A = this chain, B = another copy of it.
Amino acid sequence: MPEKQTFKQTLQMKRNYMGRACKLHFESAPLKIVQASRQYMYDDTGNEYLDCIGNISHVGHCHPHVTRAGQDQLGTLVASTGFLNEKSVEYAKRMIETLPEKLCVCFMVNSGSEANDLAVRLCRSYTGHHDVMVIDHAFHGNVSVIADLSPFKWQKLGMEKKDWVHVVPFPDTYRGKYREDSINPGLLYANEARNIIQSAHEKKRKIAAFLCEPMMVTAGVVEYPPHFLSQTFRAVHEAGGLCIIDEVNTGLGRTGDHFWAFQSQDVVPDILVVGKPLGNGFPMAMVITSKEIADNLSDYTNTFGGNPVACSIGLAVLDVIQNEKLQSSAKSVGKCFKDGLKAIAPNHPMIGDVRGRGMIVGIEIVTDKESRKPAPEAADLLAYKLKENKIIIANEGQDKNVMLITPPLCFTCDNARHVVQAIDSALAEIEKGASEAGLNQSSFGENRMDIPLNILSMPSTSGYSSEESDFDSEHPSKRARYEEVD
């Protein structure tokens, strides 16, 4: 169907009608996406972008098998809350079969946030305790209780830590308290967790749950050092708490070695949460736990959770992962990516680290390899430059300096090589620009206004008409772009 609005109209309507808190990628020059297929997205002028961040579209945008399953079910039965439904129980069975025996009962909900919230409710109800421990810089979702459990979020919003929330130091061996040169940093971080539980107990507080990802994704692609998770789980269990693994970003084969990322970690969670990849974009999520923990909740209604469209789509996604061997592809393409990035890293003073597992790859952009100081402005610039090269990538992490690569799993080694090459060139330009502007590399990241503004004011990729711009122009980078077209 042809688009009815100009780019400018769509942007203006977004600004008029949607909460400003709902941010866009490339805020100063956003994209209007109208179509997507496999690992590609298309904007309103027909440009094709390679999608390196579309982890929601797990098996590829609009995969025909998944699309057909959804379309068929939409025409047959959509809402059947409170009735037996074949698709729903079949999907529950298929999901549970991928997991250790202990995780055998599920609840179907609509988002990772709802799922993490329910997981916490289950822990509180089962243990009779109230407090929850999380890892610093973690992000687990947007509903009230889960926002309180997402230091990534509350630190950003200037919210205060709640007294029932306990925060373990970020177990990052690249920039954290204990680094790769420590002897057994995993145990050192786990000891920190143990001390936190201890000091909570001294204040007469009791831990209901430890909520964590199997590796930290949004916080900057950080894999835990060996023994951290198993030792922390042990401490939590000894304190009478339960352990929740949030696989919203990592589940369904993305990490390559296993179907679930926790399986690389020598632990089995008491509760598993999964969201994003399940529905290839369809809103759905799941909580899977033991019968003992599940039965503790006597009544739970979720209007849309487990609807037959979601479950039909979910089944089709599982089919595709299996039929197209996407888990092993995630492993080999991920290796291709990391190998390529590691090969170019020595030539780039700003690549501090390359890490990740399977199709979750992170690149630390730093002012220089020695100081390891985050360079978020350079990372931002790199994302914009790659966008000019028709590659969509995001800079994430607590310091916004980690390029996060989490594409649909149909991504190929050719795609990976193409992205590595583009990063190689774009970063060389940025490094050259920084050095030509006479900037001391170690102060590069401190103030975006130090960067020549013309780097930010790239030509429009969106082809909207040159009518007078009525967007507000308080942001210099925005002004640069819109002045150029007007």
Contact = CB atoms under 8 A, between A and B. Distances in A.
B105 A18 contact: yes
A333 interface: no
B299 A17 contact: no
A11 B77 contact: no
A195 interface: no
Interface in A263-300: 275-276, 280-284, 294-295, 297-300
Contact of A301 (B31, B54, B142): B142
Given A1-B72, A20-B294, A299-B21, A14 B304 contact: no
A307 B294 contact: no
Given A34-B77, A71-B71, A105-B17, A117 B143 contact: yes
Q: How large is the interface on A (under 10, 10 to 19, 20 to 34, 35 or more residues)?
A: 35 or more
Contacts of A61: 77-79
Given A21-B299, A92-B17, A281-B304, A74 B70 contact: yes
Contact of A86 (B3, B16, B18, B157): B3
Contacts of A275: 303
A80 interface: yes
A67 B75 contact: yes
B92 A114 contact: no
A111 B295 contact: no
Contacts of A71: 70-71, 74-75
Nearest to A276: B303
A215 interface: no
B21 A294 contact: yes
Q: Which 7 A-B pairs have the closest CB atoms?
A: A78-B281, A79-B281, A13-B89, A21-B300, A283-B304, A17-B92, A32-B84
Interface of A: 1, 3-5, 7, 10-11, 13-14, 16-25, 30-36, 41, 54, 56-57, 61-62, 67, 70-72, 74-86, 88-90, 92-93, 96, 104-114, 117-118, 120-121, 142-145, 147, 153, 156-157, 275-276, 280-284, 294-295, 297-304, 306-307, 309-310
10 contacts: A5-B86, A5-B90, A7-B84, A10-B86, A13-B89, A13-B93, A14-B89, A32-B84, A33-B77, A36-B78
